[in-house]
Structure 1
Amino acid sequence: MLRIALVTPMLPVPFDLTRGRFIHETARSLGKIATVKTFFQTLKYPPLPGIKAQTYLYGTVGKDYTLEGCDVEAFTYPGLPALTRGVNGHIASHFLTPRVRRFKPDLVLAYWVYPDGFAAMRTAQALGVPCVVGALGSDIHVRTGVNERMTQRVIDGADALLTVSEAMREYTIQTFNAASDKIHTIVNGFNTDVFLPMDQVALRDKLGVKQDEKMIVYVGRFVEAKGLRELMTAFTQLAQADPKVTLALVGDGVMKDELQSMVRASGLDGRIHWPGGQSPAGVAEWINAAHVLTLPSWSEGYPNVVVEALACGRPVVATDVGGTREIIDETNGVLIPAKDAGQLATALQDVLSREWDQFSLAAAMGRTWDDVATETLHVCEQVVRHYAQERR
């Protein structure tokens, strides 16, 4: 079987269970049909006052880190917020290369374009093997300054690029002048054993949700770009008009304190559920306990939580960004413009007022992580063959 070194900074960790769940699922399924070793590299900041990440929950991942169904090696590399941004890819590669060399891969597959895709590309070049880089969303869409320049270098230098939606593929071609023949769209799947319709009444009893609540659920990181301020504004409007409307915020992030302050200021403390970060099974339970899932992001690649919600038979209100249009239509939810709290409130009210066929919504979803792994392996095998032919 093909030997694949999978490199990523995004996997579920104890302090952020929702991070990189889709990469975990891909790695686990890919490991069934190839020999895969996952290299989990994370940037480590020095223990100085005021030094912390601004957009994600920061914590230390130890060498004893394990991941269900995966052969994983975790390690850190040093850096500073903003100051080392332009060289983080070089530093990461310095620590990555000897580890990957010991594995002796046929190919390096990285998820997250910069700095991790760059580090993987340099490591692959040092070992004389090809490199495939998977882009997930904001690592293509939200790039400026040195990040944009380094992202361009990865797109130009990788042997192939994977995108999670056709919209993202077209954006990459147009914005970064990428060669269309080396970009492959592989959309995400979902765990069909976990995300499926469940008994809402029983779940509400279990989770402490009242049976008459009209519950909206959000699942994801608590960061500005997920549209959480717009969500809080829209929810406040709905909650003031209808005492039965509630909101569950499933996840965690750097905005948690701000969100809790907004809730206290609105006087709606008793109308918000805070389950925290959840395992996939926990996410599925909260989605099934709700009436509608919302994702008011400013930018997305192919939002997996939208797929998971539909697989549970729940309609979705989401912003029309990235590949979301490839999932949502008038039969399963409502698309709205980003950064528009008024339209978000209107759409949520519309969806809450309608009857939805849970099982019809779920029946339309069938793509598995094994499908994703099969397509990913196919691209990797093509790249390895082409690489070998060019060097004969």
Structure 2
Amino acid sequence: MHVVLFTNAFPNAVEPQRGAFTFQIAQALKDLTALDIVAPLPFVPRWMAGRHPIAEVPAAENIQRLAVYHPRYLVLPKIAGATHAATLALAALPWIRRIRRQKPIDLINAHWIYPDGVAAVWIGRRLGIPVCLTALGCDINAYPKMHLRRPQIVWALCHARGLGAVSRNLADGMLALLQPKTIRSRSGSESFGRMPEIRIIPNGVDGKRFFPLPTLEVRRNLGLDVEGPVVLTVGSQDEVKGTRYLIEAIAMLEDIPGVRLVLVGDGPLRGRLERLGAELGISERVFFAGKRGHTEIPLWMNAADVFCLPSLREGHPNVVMEALACGIPVVASDVGAVSEVLRPEAGIVVPPADAAALAQALRTALQRSWNRNAIRNTVSGASWEACARSYFHWFQEILITP
């Protein structure tokens, strides 16, 4: 079997951390099947490389024995969102043809329904290659609310050979988009009342990298004060991550002596979040650690007493899996796959955008005695190898189904 993994969320020479979790799937999948990666990037003239380093990414590269191709698509000012799939498809089509000339392609698996999935389905129909789609998050829980993207997404879902998602929450969202009257059989005839099966394949976690370490020793190595409870969050500092609710919640924990918040990551709201901490009088208890490499994240996880994910929406949040693998209890918003992943012995689920509820859950988590081994055991079977095997079996089923 020869599979092309089609996604813009993949590492490259300039952005080695981009799409780290898709890379983990590919790394494990390449041991099961012939695999090529098509990871489109926006076109940027080489003379703008100083401002946009992505211009320096080569057209093709080999990343840890994975052949990765980077078609360059145009970003059209003001209408980029609505035309993203079209420009991506036109750019990627000749690359897919080139790969197919070297070796026949049995299947294309696109990660992200929009724009990647829409583009992949168009290419697949043009070249006669079956395509399956994997929904990851905002491609289903946000993009369909945009009126120019929604019909493109529904079209791709209707014409893909197989549909998958990383969580039940996303699968339900896909089914909601696919009302019976929109479903078409592969022959093109209407098939009223029949809803497709959506394969749910949760993400994995690298248990060899994320595992429990002595808390105080890790804090010393990171230069953190060893005294006092630490709440950690990891992620982009933007509206969707809901970090302001976490900072407000920390301000409500005056009854927890010495509690501190550590934020790993960066983003457009960092300045605003720093000002919020100052306004609430807790600047000395909020530490912005900045963006860190993925290899360093296990240390920050193990430095924490509680990990918090205050997001307003998610797909299958890998940071939650990583915290659990380190034996760290989690307090997280009830979004995406959080309630599917987080068991009572490993953490607490709270409503999103509710600072008071978040504060109460953090208070409970910090005052409770947790069993780190029991927490780690909740994700003991969720390896990237197991995830890749699930994809491989799904691909086989798609290809033998008439």
Query: Do these two structures clear the TM 0.5 threshold for a shared fold by scoring above it?
Result: yes
Letter in 2 for 1:113: I
Counterpart of 2:396 in 1: which secondary structure? helix
Measure how far apart 1:219 and its partner are: 1.2
Task: Report which of the two structures shows the higher radius of gyration computed on alpha carbons.
Answer: 2
Structure 1 residues 146 and 209, CA, compared in 2 at 3 Å: closer, same or farther?
Answer: same
Query: What are the residue-to-residue correspondences of 1:149-168 with 2, within 5 Å?
Result: 149-168=151-170
Name the CA distance, whole Å, in 2 between partners of 1:364 and 1:98: 45
In the TM superposition, residue 322 of structure 1 has moved relative to its aligned partner by: 2.0
Within a 5 Å distance, the mapping from 1:28-177 to structure 2 comes to: 28-44=27-43, 60=55, 62-63=57-58, 67-80=63-76, 82-104=78-100, 105-143=105-143, 144=145, 145-177=147-179
- Seen in structure 2, the aligned counterparts of structure 1 residues 206 and 272 have a Cα distance that, compared at 3 Å, is same
Per-residue deviation at 1:146?
Answer: 1.3
**1:200-253, CA deviations, whole angstroms, 9 ceiling, x for partnerless residues?**
121101101111131111111221111112112112222x44451111111222
- How many correspondences in the alignment? 379
Counterparts in 2 of 1:19 and 1:271: CA distance versus 1, 3 Å: farther
Q: 1:268 to 1:70 in 2, by over 3 A?
A: farther
Note closer, same or farther for the CA distance 1:349–1:271 as it changes in structure 2 (3 Å cut).
same
Q: Summarize the alignment of residues 352-391 of structure 1 with structure 2, pairs less than 5 Å apart.
A: 352-366=366-380, 367-386=382-401, 389=402
Percent identity over the alignment?
29
Change (3 A) 1:265 1:255: same
- Shift, 1:153, TM fit: 1.4
Is the contact made by 1:45 and 1:79 (CA closer than 8 Å) also made in structure 2? no
Q: CA deviation at 1:16?
A: 6.3
1:310 maps to which residue? 324
Q: Deviations over 1:4-31 (max 9, x none)?
A: 1111111346876654221111111111
Matched, 1:181 2:192: no
Quick one: structure 1 residues 44 and 242, their matched pair in 2 at CA, closer, same or farther if it must change by over 3 Å? farther
1:205 and 2:247 matched: no
Contact 1:188 1:372 in 2 (8 A): yes
1:18–1:278 CA contact under 8 A, matched in 2:
no
Aligned to 1:118, what secondary structure does the other structure show? helix
| Pick aligned residue for 1:219 from 234, 242, 252 | 234
Query: Residues 61 and 75 of structure 1 are in contact (CA less than 8 Å); yes or no, is this contact kept in structure 2?
Result: no
**Preserved CA contact (<8 Å) 2:6 2:111:** yes
Q: Which moved more, 1:296-305 or 1:306-315?
A: 296-305
Say what the alpha-carbon RMSD is for the aligned residues. 2.5
Asked if 1:276 corresponds to 2:290, the answer is: yes
Deviation at 1:314, TM superposition (A): 0.5
Q: What stretches of structure 2 of length at least 5 have no aligned partner?
A: 184-193
- 2:178–2:195 CA contact under 8 A, matched in 1: no
Q: Is the 8 A contact 1:17 1:278 kept in 2?
A: no
CA 220–66 in structure 1, closer or farther in 2 if over 3 Å, else same? farther
Q: 1 CA distance for matches of 2:199 and 2:85?
A: 23
Residues of 1 paired with 2:89 and 2:210: CA distance? 37
CA distance in 1, matches of 2:161, 2:395: 10
CA contact (8 A) 2:14 2:56 kept: no
Aligned to 2:20: 21
- State the 1:180 CA deviation: 4.1
Contact 2:45–2:55 under 8 Å retained in 1: no
* AA aligned opposite 1:377: F
Contact 2:12 2:57 in 1 (8 A): no
